[in-house]
Structure 1
């Protein structure tokens, strides 16, 4: 579970309509009443795990502001079009500026807890599974004319980028790149690296691919040597095809060891990583 959250709150060829899901999931009056009543009556009794309230051994509720409105829809989308293990969403709705997700409770340990103690064989098994899951996401075809957006065609959420937490949507990868550069189009003689970044950004970067956006050890749950859950889909959406790699490589201080593993489940993007370093130098994150 991502540590950024602090508020109590987890292949077929789809058609264009299937690739634009609703942000609400199974939003019936009875389910809505159950979620709201539980949060009103039992929040101090039930255990919490970070931002998630544990209802039972099988259910949990995640509640937060609407900063991640497409997370539940994304989990349903992934469950429908891949075999990636994601928490089953039973209900998701918005009310008075908050997003509520009633979902399956996944049992296991995040990789950060025991990765350094695992055997080489155990690590290889897990990394092979993660690689397969990424490949499944890459096989999801983007809708015709797809730009850079969340699963429903709306803004992407990523609090790690400068300029706020919401970004886009953007019609093209190049539009997204210009946003990352804060509109800078080159020309400064004393900034050759920034000008090189502009030239690289303006090249054809291919079609967007579906991306988790935060494949850190805090968002991968394993039970034994089996990956049983990929969680925190708040940053997921249609991103440039290199984004998964550069995002996974730029780890937080608690995940420095994960950098050594990224090339084992994602195709290395050496030039793209270099360009992302340049972007961060001149235009920063956070």
Structure 2
């Protein structure tokens, strides 16, 4: 990543499909009010993609967490992140790709949990087909209440690395933006819950406790989340 004297950032990646440029280009168009970087330009050179985007103000929440982890600040931050999530979930999946999952803005696949995110998987024609690719149990053999819960969950745009290192805040504890959209794309909405509720680096302490214990999505998505934990999801997201 390179930072210029002007408020721009350039990121370089070896991936030439399903890039951050693809994601930003799409989201800037369909949800221009989202607090995310604006894509300035991107180009491919010698097998690498160079993406130039605006630099958002603020500090990484991960770095400011020791000062902002009190309930007063946490309540504000999680409320503002939740508002951004619902704005993101309001983006409708285009009719020509309706129902497809693990799909990027370029129409290609996304990092697959079964390969530890080292290679792309998908896109898949349905949520059940996606789970077939990563579960030791075929979806045709699971209980009907599990498959029904999974298929009823809407397909939305999911940020697959929504952790404290990718959330920016100001000195007063207000969210100024969310970054690192390279691996985002069309996925079942309950996958966002897995990202937020699994303890790991960047998702710990009062932060993860809130998403595990206090935040509740709608019943359809919560049922899908519970169903995915019933012997279906065997690889962490």
TM tier, shorter chain? 0.7 to 0.9
Aligned counterpart in structure 1 of residue 164 of structure 2, from 217, 227, 230: 217
Paired residues of 1:67 and 1:157 also in contact (CA < 8 A): no
- Cα distance change, pair 228–243 in 1 and its aligned pair in 2 (3 A): same
Q: 1:155: how far off?
A: 0.7
- Whether 2:128 is the aligned partner of 1:174: answer yes
Matched residue, 2:84: 133
Helix, strand or coil for the counterpart of 1:180? coil
Q: How does 1:134-153 map to 2 (within 5 A)?
A: 134-144=85-95, 145-146=97-98, 147-148=100-101, 149-153=103-107
- Whether 2:94 is the aligned partner of 1:122: answer no
Pick which of 119-128 and 171-180 moved more.
119-128
Matched residue, 1:102: 52
Aligned counterpart in structure 1 of residue 28 of structure 2, from 57, 79, 82: 79
- TM-score scaled by structure 2? 0.81
> In structure 1, how many angstroms separate the alpha carbons of the residues matched to 2:190 and 2:10?
33
1:5-31 CA-partner distances (Å, limit 9, x unpaired): xxxxxxxxxxxxxxxxxxxxxxxxxxx
Larger Rg: 1
Structure 1: 5+ residue runs without aligned partners?
A: 1-51, 188-194
Q: 1:93: how far off?
A: 1.9
Paired residues of 1:59 and 1:102 also in contact (CA < 8 A): yes
Paired residues of 2:42 and 2:52 also in contact (CA < 8 A): yes
Q: 1:182: how far off?
A: 5.4
- Whether 2:195 is the aligned partner of 1:267: answer no
Matched residue, 1:244: 192
- TM-score scaled by structure 1? 0.68
Q: 1:251: how far off?
A: 3.2
- Whether 2:21 is the aligned partner of 1:69: answer no
Q: How many residues align?
A: 223
1:123-145 CA-partner distances (Å, limit 9, x unpaired): 22222211111111111111114
Structure 2: 5+ residue runs without aligned partners?
A: none
> In structure 2, how many angstroms separate the alpha carbons of the residues matched to 1:279 and 1:185?
8
Matched residue, 1:207: 154
> In structure 1, how many angstroms separate the alpha carbons of the residues matched to 2:204 and 2:121?
27
Q: How does 1:216-235 map to 2 (within 5 A)?
A: 216-224=163-171, 225-235=173-183
> In structure 1, how many angstroms separate the alpha carbons of the residues matched to 2:140 and 2:201?
32
- Whether 2:67 is the aligned partner of 1:113: answer no
Helix, strand or coil for the counterpart of 1:162? helix
Paired residues of 1:214 and 1:244 also in contact (CA < 8 A): no
Aligned-CA RMSD value: 2.6
- Cα distance change, pair 99–183 in 1 and its aligned pair in 2 (3 A): farther
Matched residue, 1:20: none
